[in-house]
Structures are given as structure tokens and as C-alpha cells.
Amino acid sequence: MENRRKDLRLKGYDYAQEGAYFITLCTWGRECLFGDIVNDDMQLNEIGSMVHREWMRTAIIRPNVTLDLFMIMPNHIHGIIILNVGATRRVAPTPNGPKPGSVGAIVGQFKSLSTKHIRAMWPNKQIWQRNYYEHVIRDDMDLNRVREYIINNPKQWTMDEENPNKNYKA
């Protein structure tokens, strides 16, 4: 039997087009690598700080990206990225993989660079879950809802489905 991964993207949607995107990246096996929630506040450890620095570099090394609100959690990251197509550098397309300048390319590059930094300290460590969750932000009301979710995420950690030690049973 053929093992096929489920495609999470909107069919026919161009993820390189200008707009705002809410993304979530999870660690491999939902392992808590980036720090702890203490009194409803995220406390980054050394690995989490490295991931934070690399996330901040996203807009510096990619002129078509503006970072909005983001939150690094113990085992995942929520963030809003805004693509500004007019600022995109010309990059030769690759035969495989995501379209240059697209959300998929940006996420892939971020995962690759952050993994490289982490493996300098922790060789052969699997860091990221394959793939990522995305949501195309459609209007200001949607943007504000996503921002509120990101801000409140640490306060919801005890019930978060990404929390391996959650106190809540669905």
C-alpha cells in the first residue's frame, strides 16, 4: 500500500502571493525543547533563544517578509508572516520543493537554519516535525483573532493540545 502524506494546503492557492499568513511549526514528537511556561509566561531556554534569534532574522534575510506577532512555546511556534511581493528577490526556481519566496520556502529555510544552529550544540537531534500548519489571514478581524490567540497561548498551555502534560482531557 502506498504511503501518502496529506496535503494541508489550499488547492490552487499561490502561497507566494502578497498577504498575511498564520503558521504553526511543531517540534519532532512534540518534545518540549524551547523552554517552559512559568506563571503563564514563556521562559526560553538556550535552544529557544537560538530559535528566537533565527525567527527574527527571517525578515532581515528575506526582504519580502514582514514579521508580525509570534510566540515560541515549549514545543511549537505560532507566528504571523506578511509577504510583500514587491520586495521579493529574484530567485531561480528549483525543480523540487516550494516556490521561491513562498510561505513554504520561508518555513523550510527557517527550519533548516535553526536546525543547523541547534545541531552545533546537539548533534543529530531531530528538531522539527515534517510540514507545518498554515492559515491564510483574510481580513483585519481574522488578523486580530489570530493575534489574540497567539498572545493568550501561554495562558492556555495547561489545556493546549500540543502540551504533552496537559491537565485537560478532550
Is 165 within a domain? no
pTM equals 0.83
pLDDT of residue 92: 47
Kindly give the pairing relationship between strand 41-44 and strand 65-72: unpaired
Q: What is the mean pLDDT of each run of 10 residues along the chain (170 residues)?
A: 46 78 96 95 96 95 93 97 71 59 92 93 90 94 97 92 68
The answer to whether residue 47 is domain-embedded is yes
Going by the DSSP 8-state scheme, the letter that residue 95 receives in this structure is: S
Domain CATH code at residue 31: 3.30.70.1290
* Any domain includes 50: yes
- Rounded Cα distance between 108 and 70, Å, is 17
Give pLDDT, residue 11.
Answer: 63
Residue 161 lies inside a defined structural domain of this protein: no
**pLDDT computed for residue 71 by the predictor:** 98
- Confirm if 61 and 89 have CB atoms less than 8 A apart: no
Residue-level pLDDT at 22? 97
Q: Which domain holds residue 124?
A: 19-154
Tell me, yes or no, whether 90 lies in a domain.
yes
**Which H, E and C letters describe 107-158, residue by residue?**
HHHHHHHHHHHHHHHCCCCCCECCCCEEEEECCHHHHHHHHHHHHHHHHHHH
Question: What is the per-residue pLDDT across 111-121, written as a single tens digit (0 to 9) for each?
Answer: 999 999 999 98
What is the pLDDT at residue 44?
98
Asked if residue 95 is part of any domain, the answer here is yes
Please indicate, yes or no, if residue 6 is contained in any of the structural domains. Answer: no
Task: Please tell me the total count of domains within the chain.
Answer: 1
> Is residue 167, in this structure, part of any structural domain at all?
no
pLDDT at position 163, please? Answer: 85
pLDDT given for residue 16 in this prediction: 82
pLDDT given for residue 15 in this prediction: 74
